Amino acid sequence: MGDDVTARTVRQVRALFISDVHLGTKGAKAERLLDFLRHHQAGTIFIVGDLVDGWRLRKTWYWPPSHMDVLQTLLRAGSQGARVVYIPGNHDEFARDYVGHQFGVVEVKRDAVHVTADGRRFLVMHGDEFDVVVGNARWLALLGDWAYVAAMQVNWPINFVRRRLGFSPWSLSAWAKSKVKGAVNAIGSYRDTLSNAARKRGVDGIICGHIHTAAIEEGPQFSYVNTGDWVESCTAVLENVDGRLELVHWPEQAAAETSTADESGKARPAA
């Protein structure tokens, strides 16, 4: 695995949930996801939609080696004993033609129910099925996708300068989501719509993706969990061995773990 992997121990988790990787786009943080996968070993891996961005690939072919490495790493995890469940999203909706099939170690499902170690039942789905824009106005969804890509392109020179000055990256799209009232309301409406639909299925919570806004909101009666994305936030949700769900922001956690490992190394007395 290399020196960097040995510096940070491989973490054993019961389940791993990732979504919205958007392989096939320049915005996909494939290297960061690979680093994350190398440092986590899960009994079950849920790919909660938009692993591959078919919308973008139809227009422009972009497929660097790191994007293939992500697929190979997921397949390797399956061959080593992990259960791999792939739930296609709207950007990789072509894979929905194969729902109910199994390709080697990968199960393709429309949605799934996951039971945590503490007995809670979670409906796992991408979530676009309850997005009014995607479902009823595809042209508007495509326009939104174009605007998102444009925001990412604007972000690149801004963050280049910020890194040179020693500042952390900044996200235009995330800032807009937090400041624009309509976007905040849309996120809340999405959460409420999915939660209500999941309650009708008799589950204790929902784990989804789609809107690129990571969250864990656990209540006494119902829990809403969103895995976020690997375009900007680089987030995933883990189920620990005791059933506790945890939201991980990988760039920050990776840096913290490396710093802790370095400090521990300095603290050890010389042989």
Instruction: Tell me which of 265 and 186 has the higher pLDDT.
Output: 186
11 falls in which pLDDT band (50, 70, 90)? very high
Q: How far is CA 165 from CA 157, 160, 173, in A?
A: 13, 9, 21
Q: Would 25 be classed as within a structural domain?
A: yes
Domain hosting 96: range is 3-265
Question: Which tens digit of pLDDT belongs to each residue from 99-129?
Answer: 999 999 999 999 999 999 999 999 999 998 8
Q: Contact at 8 Å (CB) between 187 and 211? A: yes
**Nearest alpha carbon to residue 50 among 86, 90, 79:** 90
205-208 vs 121-124, strand pairing mode: parallel
pLDDT of residue 153: 55
Number of domains in the chain: 1
Residue 156 inside a domain? The answer is yes
pLDDT in tens, 70-82: 999 999 999 999 9
Please give the residue that has the higher pLDDT: either 138 or 215: 215
CATH code at 143?
A: 3.60.21.10
What DSSP string describes 54-71?
Answer: HHHHHHS----HHHHHHH
Q: pLDDT above 90 covers what percent of the chain? A: 60
Q: Please give the single-letter amino acid code of residue 33.
A: L
Given the DSSP bridges, would you call strands 121-124 and 112-115 parallel, antiparallel or unpaired? antiparallel
Instruction: Please report the pLDDT score of residue 108 as a whole number.
Output: 98
Confidence of residue 94 (pLDDT cuts 50, 70, 90): very high
Residues 159-209 have pLDDT tens digits of 555 566 666 664 545 544 444 444 545 777 889 999 999 999 999 999 999
* Residue 248 lies inside a defined structural domain of this protein: yes
Of 22 and 142, the structure prediction assigns the larger pLDDT to 22
pLDDT at residue 179 in the model: 47
Would you place residue 271 in the very low, low, confident or very high pLDDT band (cuts 50, 70, 90)? very low
pLDDT bin (cut points 50, 70, 90) of residue 130 is confident
pLDDT at 268 over 50: no
Reported as a single tens digit per residue, the pLDDT across 13-41 is 999 999 999 999 998 999 999 999 999 99
Residue 149: predicted pLDDT: 54
- Assess if residue 271 is contained within a domain: no
Tokens read off for 92: 């990789």
Q: Tell me, yes or no, whether 43 lies in a domain.
A: yes
Q: How far apart are CA 90 and CA 113, in angstroms?
A: 20
Q: What confidence tier does 254 reach under pLDDT thresholds 50, 70, 90?
A: confident
217-252 tens-digit pLDDT: 998 899 999 999 999 889 999 999 999 999 999 988
Residue 270 inside a domain? The answer is: no
CA distance 76 to 53: 22
